[in-house]
């Protein structure tokens, strides 16, 4: 959530910045509601002062007008209660509007409408030229008896997948490999998180209320109309919310956390409907990086967390490109985002495999994550950052396609062969 003081005192500035994100802020409605809120608060405070003055007189001994004064106190209390009901309703309306306002982009974020206006920062690796007709990862998986779509559909429906044998083994090894690199080389602390979270936690990281349809909800068995729990769309949600409503000491920052988790997304709408296999599924695995830092360090931390995700691709020798997302393509909570896109030869294009974002103090304001400065005990909001390090299914798919041979054999990347007890090929 944006700073409420900023919204109240500089609403026109916020409006102009959000236009870069193609977000039309209804400033007239906000000004109207804020004026009403302020007037109600002034009236309430005036009545409270009057009531307190009379209460003070009542506390004095030998008061001959006690009955009359008590009636005045009751009258003031009734009026205050009525104003409070109206004020609470106005505040609720304001909070709903504020909760739907996205984060402000940083100055160096390119202005654009959609992904076509993202800025390419650079490319890494060599795209291999094949002298045979390349297969996509789904065909390779079926050929090697490692992917079973039919059984997955029978079990759970479309956009689920079953992995078998050495391909399932490679998928598991990738998780271990990613965790080892981030923990041992990059200094992250491993966390195991629940896959079910409360509604308030998804609000805190910005998935709710705007993206309710993208989530899998869990109905309360006692009250089927009430939904208080959700399956996580990313481990970012539980990791960031570890500091929900907490004040930590400055000396423990930065907090560098990594978690492997299964993630669940409903993938509603037409976006990605043609992406088959491991590219876009309802259930997938991801290794997530989260850093919780002091405000003055968040800009350089975004570069660091992105480099950590890049390192995995480099060690696997997978060609990729780094993209700076434009204002129209960033996520709701992000102030700046880099996407890493890995090369898929069967599609002759790059696909996103990691998204690394600086959320500034947007999430920490929603979850009240703060830290106490050593110098003066001042309490400030933490800056939160996250990145995929990496999406496991897409990494597996990219390896299968980039390391394929003409007969459908898949070479295991050298760095993973020791993890797989010396296995060098899947065929």
Of 59 and 391, the structure prediction assigns the larger pLDDT to: 391
How remote is the C-alpha of 247 from its chain's centroid? 21
Mean pLDDT across the chain: 94
Do both 95 and 128 map to the same domain? no
Q: What is the dihedral of CA 248, 94, 107, 245, to 10 degrees?
A: 10
Q: Which domain does 52 fall in, by range?
A: 26-99
pLDDT grade for 66, boundaries at 50, 70 and 90:
confident
pLDDT score at 63: 61
pLDDT grade for 69, boundaries at 50, 70 and 90:
confident
Do both 277 and 308 map to the same domain? yes
Give 315-336 pLDDT, tens digit per residue. 999 999 999 999 999 999 999 9
pLDDT score at 225: 66
Do both 195 and 323 map to the same domain? yes
pLDDT at 363 over 90: yes
Do both 139 and 265 map to the same domain? yes
Q: Which residues pair with 370 in a beta bridge?
A: 247, 381
Mean pLDDT, to the nearest integer, of 167-171?
Answer: 98
The angle subtended at Cα 417 by Cα 175 and Cα 285, nearest 5°, is 15
pLDDT grade for 270, boundaries at 50, 70 and 90:
very low
pLDDT score at 403: 98
pLDDT score at 319: 98
pLDDT at 259 over 90: yes
Q: How far is CA 160 from CA 121, 280, 319, in A?
A: 34, 9, 27
Which percentage of the chain shows pLDDT scores above 90? Answer: 87
Do both 255 and 360 map to the same domain? yes
Domain with 212 in it: what CATH number? 3.30.930.10
| Domain C-terminal end among 99, 132, 152 | 99
pLDDT score at 62: 63
Residue 105 lies inside a defined structural domain of this protein: no
Do both 79 and 227 map to the same domain? no
Q: Number of structural domains, the chain?
A: 2
Do both 321 and 371 map to the same domain? yes
Residue 9 lies inside a defined structural domain of this protein: no
Residue 15 lies inside a defined structural domain of this protein: no
pLDDT score at 57: 80
Please tell me the pTM assigned to this model: 0.92
Q: Which structure tokens are listed for 200?
A: 């308030």
Which percentage of the chain shows pLDDT scores above 70? Answer: 96
Q: What is the dihedral of CA 62, 67, 70, 72, to 10 degrees?
A: -120
Give 138-163 pLDDT, tens digit per residue. 999 999 999 999 999 999 999 999 99
Do both 155 and 201 map to the same domain? yes
Do both 181 and 46 map to the same domain? no
Do both 175 and 241 map to the same domain? yes
Mean pLDDT, to the nearest integer, of 368-380?
Answer: 96
Residue 210 lies inside a defined structural domain of this protein: yes
The SS3 of residue 230 is: strand
């Amino acid at each position: 959530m944006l700073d409420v003081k900023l919204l109240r005192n500089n609403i026109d500035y916020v409006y102009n910045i959000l236009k870069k994100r193609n977000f039309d802020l209804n400033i007239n409605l906000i000004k109207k509601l804020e004026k009403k809120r302020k007037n109600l608060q002034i009236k309430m405070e005036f009545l409270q002062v009057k009531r307190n003055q009379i209460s003070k007189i009542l506390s004095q001994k030998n008061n001959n007008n006690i009955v009359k004064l008590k009636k005045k106190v009751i009258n003031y209390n009734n009026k205050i209660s009525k104003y409070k009901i109206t004020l609470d309703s106005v505040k609720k309306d304001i909070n709903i509007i504020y909760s739907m306002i996205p984060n402000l982009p940083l100055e160096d974020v390119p202005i654009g409408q959609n992904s076509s206006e993202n800025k390419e920062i650079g490319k890494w690796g060599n795209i291999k030229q094949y002298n045979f007709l390349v297969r996509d990862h789904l065909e390779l998986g079926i050929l090697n008896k490692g992917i079973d779509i039919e059984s997955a559909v029978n079990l759970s429906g479309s956009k689920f997948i079953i992995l078998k044998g050495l391909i399932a083994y490679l998928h598991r090894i990738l998780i271990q490999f990613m965790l080892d690199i981030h923990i041992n080389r990059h200094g992250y602390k491993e966390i195991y998180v629940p896959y079910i979270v409360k509604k308030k936690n998804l609000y805190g990281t910005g998935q709710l209320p705007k993206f309710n349809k993208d989530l899998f909800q869990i109905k309360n068995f006692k009250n089927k109309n009430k939904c208080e729990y959700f399956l996580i769309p990313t481990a970012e949600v539980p990791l960031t919310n570890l500091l929900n409503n907490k004040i930590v000491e400055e000396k423990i920052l930065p907090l560098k956390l990594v978690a492997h988790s299964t993630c669940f997304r409903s993938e509603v709408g037409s976006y990605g409907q043609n992406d088959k296999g491991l590219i876009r599924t309802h259930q997938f695995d991801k290794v997530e990086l989260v850093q919780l830092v002091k405000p003055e360090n968040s800009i350089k931390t975004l570069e660091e967390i992105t480099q950590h995700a890049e390192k995995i691709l480099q060690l696997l020798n997978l060609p990729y490109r780094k993209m700076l997302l434009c204002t129209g393509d960033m996520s709701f909570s992000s102030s700046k985002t880099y996407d890493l896109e890995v090369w898929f030869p069967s599609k002759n294009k790059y696909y996103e495999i990691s998204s690394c974002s600086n959320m500034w103090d947007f999430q920490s304001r929603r979850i009240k994550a703060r830290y106490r400065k050593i110098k003066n005990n001042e309490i400030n909001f933490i800056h939160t950052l996250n990145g995929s390090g990496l999406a496991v299914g897409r990494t597996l798919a990219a390896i299968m396609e980039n390391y394929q041979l003409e007969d459908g054999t898949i070479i295991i990347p050298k760095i993973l062969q020791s993890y797989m007890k010396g296995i060098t090929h899947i065929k």
